[in-house]
Amino acid sequence: MVENPACARGPRESIIEGSLWRVGKASWRFALFVVYPYAVLLAHGVVAALLGFVVASIASDWFGGHVIASLLGLSVLAASTVLFIHWTEERTYMLYLFDDIVSHCQYAHRQRPDWEARFDVFAEHLVEAATTSNADEIVVIGHSSGSFVAVDVLARSLARDPDLGRHGPKIVLLTLGANIPTVGFHPRAGWIRDHLARLAVEPSIDWIDYQSRKDVMNFYPFDPVSGHGIDVGNARRNPQVLAVRFHDIVREQSYATFRWQFFRIHFQFLRANERPSAYDYFMIVCGPFSLPLRAQRPKDVLEAVAAEASVSEAAWRRLSAELGDAAAATVAGAGLPSIALDIHPASTRLSIQGQIPAQNRTSAENAAQANRLLDPGSATTA
């Protein structure tokens, strides 16, 4: 890895370059989140300094010497800071977030050749999958910082195969809880803004971006293209930006237990629903409907898997014309409330392995099984 002294200077460089100001202007809540680890470090330092001062004062009275007292006070200050960080890291994520800030800056400045080598491999894998797969749809998913990685990988794939998405499976980009501006707002990150401009007009790619107001770790409301100052005029077709209300997809009791746990909220994008909703991660990656159809016809897609047969049948009939598949009418006519996986061949998904919970179970049973399949830290995202 090539070290970047500018990124190591952290917030000072962000202020000089103006990226921190642009983040605050786009999303004041995310700006507070960026400042948060520095506030935690400051709090550690203040508490440790107070302890050191108290120990130094007591030592001065006991030993009557300022040198010994000062050395003891400084020792307590240093030891307390290290211990506080060690004891609280699992709850504050301070060191993790500092690493995140520096890594994003390095990536924006093209100072992470190790990352870029991995992304080249990923891009080659995507091109190969699109060439050899008999799936209907390949969905490239980027959650959180994976959002700008997914944009980069897809752009690299298009550079290798400009006809990607025009042959073989449909290619769809799905970004969840995205924080693309943490890279895109750096003045020297014009390369990723070029990628965004390319994807904004690319006719062979559909891009769906889900955001949530409750999630302080994503930019909301934010347009990933115009928000970066990119204007492609009437040629623009991507992304379609959609809002997710977490309160609507989990039970009230569950929501109350984690509504102030910001990392838990951030990973709700990848967890199972407890209530039926147009946004359902497991139905997106494992369900029978294409992602663009789900985004365009959320009500019909939701009703198509309803437990009530009459509602499901009506929705299937409405969707059959969109699906262009005789199997849709067959399933609707049979009055089956299942998700009817035979409507499309199994799609290639680059983000998850496992089986979707059975749709005839209760939502609580679905959530329990799905959460066993998916640990928030284990999903492989772009």
Tell me which of 12-26, 40-54, 57-71, 78-92 is least confident.
Answer: 12-26
- In whole numbers, what is the pLDDT of the chain averaged over residues? 81
pLDDT band at residue 6 using 50, 70 and 90 as cut-offs: low
pLDDT band at residue 11 using 50, 70 and 90 as cut-offs: low
Please state, for a pLDDT cut of 90, what percent of the chain lies above it.
Answer: 54
- Name residues whose C-beta falls within 8 Å of residue 99's C-beta, 6 or more positions apart in sequence: none
- Could you give the CA distance from residue 299 to residue 312 in angstroms, rounded to a whole number? 11
Is the model more confident about 13 or about 240? 240
pLDDT in tens, 253-276: 999 999 889 999 999 999 999 998
pLDDT in tens, 220-236: 999 999 999 999 999 99
- Listed residue (204, 205, 213, 146) closest to 175, CA to CA: 146
Question: In DSSP terms, which residues pair with 138 in a beta bridge?
Answer: 171, 348
- Could you give the CA distance from residue 112 to residue 119 in angstroms, rounded to a whole number? 11
pLDDT band at residue 141 using 50, 70 and 90 as cut-offs: very high
The amino acid present at 94, given as its one-letter code, is M
Whether the per-residue pLDDT at 307 is higher than 80: the answer is no
Please state, for a pLDDT cut of 70, what percent of the chain lies above it.
Answer: 79
- Burial classification of residue 259, based on how many CB atoms lie within 10 Å of its CB (0-12 exposed, 13-18 middle, 19 or more buried): middle
What are the extents of the domains in the chain? 5-104, 112-287+345-373, 289-343
Is the model more confident about 14 or about 275? 275
Q: What is the model's pLDDT at position 17?
A: 64
- Listed residue (56, 136, 120) closest to 327, CA to CA: 136
Q: What is the model's pLDDT at position 319?
A: 83
Task: Report yes or no: 188 and 104 within 8 Å, Cβ to Cβ.
Answer: no
Q: What is the model's pLDDT at position 287?
A: 84
Peptide bond connecting 221 to the previous residue in cis, omega within 30 degrees of 0: yes
Is the model more confident about 326 or about 345? 326
Q: Mean per-residue pLDDT for 112-125?
A: 95
- Burial classification of residue 349, based on how many CB atoms lie within 10 Å of its CB (0-12 exposed, 13-18 middle, 19 or more buried): middle
The model's pTM is 0.79
- Listed residue (101, 117, 87, 134) closest to 14, CA to CA: 101
Q: What is the model's pLDDT at position 14?
A: 58
Is the model more confident about 331 or about 47? 47
Question: In DSSP terms, which residues pair with 205 in a beta bridge?
Answer: 171
